[in-house]
């Protein structure tokens, strides 16, 4: 009987080995380097190392406040998880060898551009962290935690002198609680992750057509009718704001208006442009006084709830037709000489701007808010490209870049990393214009991401974006980025993030197997298609369960990236014997996988659709093995056969079951390199 | 650069391993069976299955209370995690096809022996759960969750009729927050696990010599001086009690006295037997009136805090010498005609019994509390064996068995499973005596277990103990137990338990590698020694970091158990070709592992001690491969060589680095089976 469930553990580990092997074991060189992310502005390596052991003690000196005490305890908790030494208990009693000195307080509400700098000095006998205020201390403590590593004698941090401060003052992560309700626990653990990589703005979006997920006491039908019963109470919101402040993170709320607002209309249909059919309306009526009376009260309530100086009112993607086909609105436009929907939106923006100004809030909006007469103090969040960012700052607006940081679109860490708010598209800006580029924001839209798989969309890639926004512009080495990203990714698990666990858990669930090895083999080499292609391949509603393989796998296949690097070296004639062997072994694994996976796929309704993809992996690998052998032997290949293989590979590069076979292009590269007559 | 972190040529070998086939996956037979644990009392399988999809709806009928609403939401949360379908949001709006009917309320404080029965009936079109009270509903909902599985058409639960009720009314888990402070989050997730397997008593132990970890408002120096700053506030305790009640779990507090009490004496030295040296005293002075005055106030405070009818006052392991060598105590003994320490303990027990009775609490104590004149209503928790349990019930005491359920001692699930409170040692009891056996308790002592690795000591083995205490005595099939245990173990991850994650996280940390494959290979075949041998092999204090391999690995090696089963089949001549292949591949993997692991071990102070163990694994595997080949060829082996190998294997069965090489006995079995001249 034992036969029938021959066991998990060893398969699991072998799988991990077979699949993830090379990319994940770092050489001695990288291990001895300083695997920080974001890399600090100035780093001077020293000699020796400071041991972290049971004698570690920490003292807070200078300015004191409870937030610093909590930061110290949080630091000790993480250090304890990093080392397995229960310093969370002991380090307060030991003589201090890590001195943390705080100059003075920070603003009572964290401000844009507030000093985040710190100085960290580590010698073989002790460490000192100094900063002007608690924000700098919070940043420096995270740097210290990133430096911890194990050695033959103990856990240590290397001797080093670091002077650090951020390049941009606005380094954000948007979490979209509008499309889907995201539980507080998921919000909190991602705030922990943000602290780890020194992000400082949590852009929290509460409503969209699909739902209204925050409590309004002024207009309770908003959540009562619009949330399906799942919304954040104002107490919970305050708890998150305090949690974020502890981590030196500002919370900027977004209430997207006047469009993306269907969920508002369930409780308050009078707000809708289409009174006859509010449930199919997504735009507020910008022509009625009542709309502004409602919003004035609503904004006052939320402006009181959220202490931050900035207040985001969305403004994106208004459907011009909804206004322009409405007789009542058309009449209004004629009466006031407004020629188009853009004019209506400007009217709306101007009115909202006045309301926000009365509460001393700085208005922020998406690209579409930018119009010729938009008030100059409105901050533009650019989602359409660097051009629109440049246009905004040229027109005098402060701006935040999100185009290129859409982490829901399954781009690689490298792609995100190479997007610079002051990169190519903004190169011709004047210094004054450049100064108006505040930074950037990764955006975790939840159209087709849930709280379950959210962590693996956000992490580790957002760490690369965080580095782009914090570290010197000159830092551009992709290989170094990926090497440090792997280490940071591991350390983020000490913060409770689930990005490294999710895939396996979901594969187990969808297969009904405690350890579905062949499915893991397939999962390691596929990715969901980039950009908006997923929506074209499967129909998603707000209620579509996100439990397929395309939901489970990370947006970027590490294995495929590794294989691609090897294939490139082989084609370039620069491959080592180990490269050849590795390629051979991986291709053999993949070729033989379908035979084992196929019976497993049939047993579950969630995996049946993967059968063609699995067959393709085997066939692509078969072609790859042949090409590899031909290359090794320098064999001449028939032009016809080569073309047939290339045709097949091209076909295999198209999505199947909403997934791309990421090794197909590398195999094609090998085939292309074969000699023909 | 990718070159620099490529890993070794282990691939070829592993490749073969990975391709071994679907042997690890459960057979169709097991999948179609009902993988519940604990197995219900009466199960009648039906025809067909009930689909769990987006149309699933649940309704609560009959008696209503907020706890039932919360149970429903918790049920939906778990069901959502099991399926990836966001039923937590939707199932309240769908027309109900799962009807839950509650007869009436349960007691306001959950009572021993309260009705936990339920009736669950599932057809292809719907499900009905009925129970007399919320406790039965809570039990039945967990059974439903265990039945969920994936099929080619959808997630389903099979048609079935279940009538269920527990065999014993006391089914507990002790968590020892005395030796080490265990954070509330860890307590809560283990209460979730307890609910999943229908345990109903959380025995929460707050103090030991090492620490006093609960707030006393009457005697605040207890926690202020005795806790190192880490203790549960009374609000937190109330929160846990409410959390447990929601899960139909009673909370029985333990304050161990009069011994194991050094931590009390830091704040209140006058309680100690030795006034001169209270910090080296572990026993209270049972002769002074002040001791009882103190305890009367303290017990009143705690009796008010904990609503349960039972109150555990420990009473174990008093050091007779501490009393008998104390002149003041000796004088008291002579004066009152008390001849020995046992007499003093009886005096103490009697006094405490009176105090507890005045608060309407039933006293519970460990074995040592049982003396000829101990009041008959004192419940005895037996930790020394079934004999002491039998003695207690013969003397008229109700009793709870913990001997055999010490989950800190690294015994196998099978060993625990075969311990029955009414088993061999108690077979001669009369029915009346048997009725006084209330059940049993798994004990998670934390002498050398921390909150980090606690989950992998508790789970999944405690599910096997839970089955022993809930299910019919006749259920004794070890193979079936292990098969269901593997499924339950996976499902427990949906409750947030970390038992399946801990080992890998700790291996990564101790090696400093994101994916230390060869270390995982070693880890999968070793176990910490059973019973109290660990303490003999390493010196542990309260502050010893528990971050070595013996802390990281589960108490039971699944791989070694599997290998052992294969070796047995080979020796018995009943092995399949796949058995032979599997044995060959595993042994080859192990033989070749040291070459890869050895350089890795040297880099970390936590893994250096493993070098001899790793070498041994390779050598044992080498011998195993030879024996396997000799068996296959039916070769005659020299008696000398065989004896030399057996001697070496015997040596390898001894612990190294506080770990046992669990495959060595199986290899010895293969060697013993070789023919000699």
| Predicted local distance difference test score (pLDDT) of residue B427 | 79
pLDDT above 80 (res B94): yes
Q: Name the phi and psi angles at A175, rounded to 5.
A: -115, 125
Contact A157, A52 (CB under 8 A): yes
Q: B545–A29: do the CB atoms touch at under 8 Å? A: no
pLDDT above 80 (res A20): no
pLDDT above 80 (res B401): yes
Mean of pLDDT values over B256-282:
92
Q: A515–B24: do the CB atoms touch at under 8 Å? A: yes
pLDDT above 50 (res A8): no
Contact A645, A627 (CB under 8 A): yes
> At B92, is the pLDDT very low, low, confident or very high (cuts 50, 70, 90)?
confident
pLDDT above 60 (res A399): yes
> At A276, is the pLDDT very low, low, confident or very high (cuts 50, 70, 90)?
confident
| Predicted local distance difference test score (pLDDT) of residue A536 | 87
What is the number of H-type helices and E-type strands within chain B?
A: 29, 21
pLDDT above 80 (res B8): no
Mean of pLDDT values over A611-640:
96
Q: B150–A25: do the CB atoms touch at under 8 Å? A: no
> Is A85's Cβ below 8 Å from some Cβ in B?
yes
| Predicted local distance difference test score (pLDDT) of residue B25 | 36
**pLDDT tens digits along B230-266:** 999 999 999 999 999 999 999 999 999 999 999 999 9
Q: Could you tell me how many CB contacts below 8 A there are between chain A and chain B?
A: 265
**pLDDT tens digits along A537-568:** 888 887 889 999 999 999 999 999 999 999 99
Integer Cα distance of A291 and A261 in angstroms: 13
Does residue B317 have an active-site annotation?
Answer: yes
| Predicted local distance difference test score (pLDDT) of residue B23 | 35
Contact A130, A118 (CB under 8 A): yes
Integer Cα distance of B297 and B236 in angstroms: 21
> At A535, is the pLDDT very low, low, confident or very high (cuts 50, 70, 90)?
confident
pLDDT above 70 (res A5): no
Q: B84–A506: do the CB atoms touch at under 8 Å? A: yes
> A566 burial class (0-12, 13-18, 19+ CB within 10 angstroms)?
buried
| Predicted local distance difference test score (pLDDT) of residue A572 | 97
Q: Considering only CB atoms, which chain B residues are within 8 Å of A192?
A: none
Q: Which residues of A, range 134-163, sit inside 8 Å of B by Cβ?
A: 149-154
User: Among A217, A176, A170, which Cα is nearest to A468's?
Assistant: A170
| Predicted local distance difference test score (pLDDT) of residue B276 | 82
Contact B223, B216 (CB under 8 A): yes
Integer Cα distance of A510 and A547 in angstroms: 7
pLDDT above 50 (res A31): no
Instruction: Give me the residue from B482, B506, B605 closest to A152, CB to CB.
Output: B605
Kindly list the catalytic residues of A. 317
pLDDT above 90 (res B7): no
Quote the percentage of chain B above a pLDDT of 70. Answer: 95
**pLDDT tens digits along B553-577:** 999 999 999 999 999 999 999 999 9
| Predicted local distance difference test score (pLDDT) of residue B17 | 38
| Predicted local distance difference test score (pLDDT) of residue A478 | 96
| Predicted local distance difference test score (pLDDT) of residue A33 | 66
Q: Between these two residues, A382 and B677, which has the higher pLDDT value?
A: A382
Instruction: Give me the residue from B54, B151, B608 closest to A152, CB to CB.
Output: B608
Residue of B114, B239, B317, B513 marked active site? B317
Q: Which two tokens stand for residue A500?
A: 């490294």
Q: What is the ipTM of this complex?
A: 0.91
**pLDDT tens digits along A438-472:** 999 999 999 999 999 999 999 999 999 999 999 99
| Predicted local distance difference test score (pLDDT) of residue A302 | 98
Contact B521, B590 (CB under 8 A): yes
**pLDDT tens digits along B421-478:** 998 877 789 999 999 999 999 999 999 999 999 999 999 999 999 999 999 999 999 9
Mean of pLDDT values over A135-142:
98
Mean of pLDDT values over A637-645:
94
pLDDT above 50 (res B4): no
| Predicted local distance difference test score (pLDDT) of residue A275 | 81
Q: Which residues of B, range 214-273, sit inside 8 Å of A by Cβ?
A: 228-230
> At B420, is the pLDDT very low, low, confident or very high (cuts 50, 70, 90)?
very high
pLDDT above 60 (res B22): no
Contact A364, A441 (CB under 8 A): no
**β-strand pairing of A42-52 with A155-164:** antiparallel
| Predicted local distance difference test score (pLDDT) of residue B29 | 37
Q: Considering only CB atoms, which chain B residues are within 8 Å of A543?
A: 54, 86, 90
Instruction: Give me the residue from A90, A230, A606 closest to B150, CB to CB.
Output: A606
Beta bridge pairs of residue B60: B100
Mean pLDDT, chain A, as a whole number? Answer: 93
Q: A589–B9: do the CB atoms touch at under 8 Å? A: no
pLDDT above 50 (res A11): no
Task: Give B594's contacts (C-beta < 8 A, 6+ positions apart).
Answer: B614, B615, B617, B618
> At A103, is the pLDDT very low, low, confident or very high (cuts 50, 70, 90)?
very high
- Select the residue from B4, B11, B27, B186 to test the A interface by mutation, using most A Cβ atoms within 10 A: B11
> At B33, is the pLDDT very low, low, confident or very high (cuts 50, 70, 90)?
low
**pLDDT tens digits along A423-438:** 887 778 999 999 999 9
| Predicted local distance difference test score (pLDDT) of residue A274 | 87
**β-strand pairing of B98-102 with B58-62:** parallel
**pLDDT tens digits along B586-597:** 999 999 999 999
Q: A18–B3: do the CB atoms touch at under 8 Å? A: no
Q: Which two tokens stand for residue B150?
A: 């994936």
User: Among B102, B117, B116, B108, which Cα is nearest to B63's?
Assistant: B102
pLDDT above 60 (res A2): no
**pLDDT tens digits along B73-85:** 999 999 999 999 9
| Predicted local distance difference test score (pLDDT) of residue B275 | 80
- CA–chain centroid gap for A24, Å, is 21
Instruction: Give me the residue from A16, A90, A229 closest to B543, CB to CB.
Output: A90
Mean of pLDDT values over A176-188:
96
Instruction: Give me the residue from A5, A25, A517 closest to B30, CB to CB.
Output: A5
Q: Considering only CB atoms, which chain A residues are within 8 Å of B6?
A: 22, 25, 576, 578-579, 582
- CA B616-B617-B621 angle, to 5 degrees, is 115
**pLDDT tens digits along B608-661:** 999 999 999 999 999 999 999 999 999 999 999 999 999 999 999 999 999 999
- CA–chain centroid gap for B572, Å, is 34
| Predicted local distance difference test score (pLDDT) of residue B533 | 87
Q: Between these two residues, B140 and B34, which has the higher pLDDT value?
A: B140
pLDDT above 50 (res B31): no
**pLDDT tens digits along A39-58:** 999 999 999 999 999 999 99
Integer Cα distance of B558 and B169 in angstroms: 31
Contact A244, A191 (CB under 8 A): yes
Alpha-helical segments (H) within A247-326: 262-267, 289-305, 320-324
**β-strand pairing of B437-444 with B399-401:** parallel
Mean of pLDDT values over A85-109:
92
- CA B360-B363-B364 angle, to 5 degrees, is 150
pLDDT above 80 (res A30): no
Beta bridge pairs of residue A437: A399
pLDDT above 70 (res B293): yes
pLDDT above 50 (res A310): yes
Return the DSSP state at A631. Answer: H
| Predicted local distance difference test score (pLDDT) of residue B305 | 98
Comparing A392-396, B14-18, B143-147, which segment has the lowest mean pLDDT? Answer: B14-18
Task: Give A559's contacts (C-beta < 8 A, 6+ positions apart).
Answer: A19, A20, A23, A524, A525, A586
Residues in chain B, how many?
Answer: 677
Q: For residue B31, what is the nearest residue in chain A, using CA coordinates?
A: A512
> At B521, is the pLDDT very low, low, confident or very high (cuts 50, 70, 90)?
very high
**pLDDT tens digits along A207-257:** 999 999 999 999 999 999 999 999 999 999 999 999 999 999 999 999 999
**pLDDT tens digits along A499-520:** 999 999 999 999 999 889 999 9
- CA B410-B411-B415 angle, to 5 degrees, is 165
pTM: 0.93
């Amino acid at each position: 009987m034992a036969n029938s469930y021959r066991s998990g553990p060893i398969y699991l580990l072998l799988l991990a080995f077979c699949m993830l092997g090379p990319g994940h074991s770092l050489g001695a060189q990288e291990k001895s380097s300083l695997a920080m992310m974001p890399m600090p502005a100035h780093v001077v390596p020293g000699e020796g190392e400071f041991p972290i052991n049971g004698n570690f003690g920490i003292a807070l000196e200078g300015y004191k406040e409870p937030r610093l005490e909590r930061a110290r305890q949080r630091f000790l908790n993480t250090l304890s998880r990093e080392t397995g030494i229960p310093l969370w208990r002991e380090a307060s009693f030991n003589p201090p060898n890590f001195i943390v000195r705080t100059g003075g307080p920070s603003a009572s509400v964290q401000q844009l551009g507030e000093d985040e700098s710190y100085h960290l000095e580590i010698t073989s006998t002790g460490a000192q962290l100094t900063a002007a205020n608690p924000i700098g201390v919070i940043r420096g403590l995270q740097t210290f935690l990133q430096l911890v590593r194990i050695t033959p004698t103990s856990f240590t941090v290397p001797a080093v002198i670091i002077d650090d401060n951020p390049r941009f003052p606005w380094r954000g992560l948007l979490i979209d609680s509008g499309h889907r309700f995201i539980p507080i626990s998921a919000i909190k653990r991602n705030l922990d992750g943000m602290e780890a990589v020194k992000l400082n703005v949590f852009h929290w979006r509460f409503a969209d057509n699909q739902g209204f997920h925050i409590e309004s006491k002024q207009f309770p039908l908003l959540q009562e009718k619009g949330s399906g019963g799942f919304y954040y109470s104002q107490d919970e919101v305050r708890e998150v704001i305090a949690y974020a402040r502890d981590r030196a993170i500002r919370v900027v709320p977004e209430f997207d208006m006047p469009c993306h607002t269907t969920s508002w209309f369930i409780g308050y249909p009078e707000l809708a442009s289409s009174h006859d059919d509010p449930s199919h309306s997504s735009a507020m009526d910008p022509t009625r006084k009542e709309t502004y009376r409602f919003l004035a009260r609503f904004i006052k309530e939320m402006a009181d709830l959220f202490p931050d100086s900035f207040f985001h009112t969305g403004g994106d993607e208004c459907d011009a037709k909804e206004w322009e086909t409405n007789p009542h609105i058309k009449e209004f436009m004629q009466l006031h000489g407004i020629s188009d929907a853009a004019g209506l939106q400007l009217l709306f923006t101007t009115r909202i701007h006045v309301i926000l100004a009365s509460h001393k809030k700085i208005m922020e909006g998406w690209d579409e808010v930018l119009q010729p007469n938009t008030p100059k103090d409105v901050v533009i969040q650019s989602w359409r490209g660097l051009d629109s960012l440049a246009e905004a700052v040229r027109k005098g607006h402060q701006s935040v870049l999100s185009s290129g940081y859409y982490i829901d679109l399954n781009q690689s860490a490298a792609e995100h990393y190479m997007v610079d708010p002051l990169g190519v598209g903004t190169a011709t800006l004047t210094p004054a214009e450049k100064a108006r580029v505040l930074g950037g924001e990764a955006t975790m839209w939840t159209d087709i991401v849930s709280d379950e798989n959210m962590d693996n969309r956000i992490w580790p890639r957002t760490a690369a974006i965080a580095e782009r926004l914090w570290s010197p512009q000159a830092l551009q080495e992709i290989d170094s980025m990926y090497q440090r990203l792997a280490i940071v990714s591991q350390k983020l698990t000490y913060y409770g993030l689930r990005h490294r666990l999710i895939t396996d858990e979901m594969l187990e669930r969808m297969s009904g197997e405690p350890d579905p090895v062949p499915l893991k083999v397939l999962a390691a080499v596929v990715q969901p298609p980039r950009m908006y292609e997923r929506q074209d391949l499967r129909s998603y509603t707000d209620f579509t369960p996100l439990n397929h393989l395309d939901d489970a796998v990370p947006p970027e296949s590490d294995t495929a990236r590794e294989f691609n690097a090897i294939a490139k070296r082989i084609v370039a004639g620069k491959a080592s014997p180990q490269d050849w062997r590795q390629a051979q072994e991986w291709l053999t694994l993949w070729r033989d996988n379908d035979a084992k996976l196929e019976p497993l796929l049939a047993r579950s309704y969630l995996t049946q659709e993967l059968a063609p993809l699995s067959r393709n992996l085997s066939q692509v690998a078969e072609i790859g093995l042949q090409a590899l052998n031909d290359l090794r032997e320098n064999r001449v290949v028939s032009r016809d056969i080569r073309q047939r293989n290339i045709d097949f590979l091209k076909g295999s590069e198209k999505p199947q079951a909403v997934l791309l076979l990421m090794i197909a292009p590398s195999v094609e590269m090998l085939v292309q390199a074969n000699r023909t007559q």
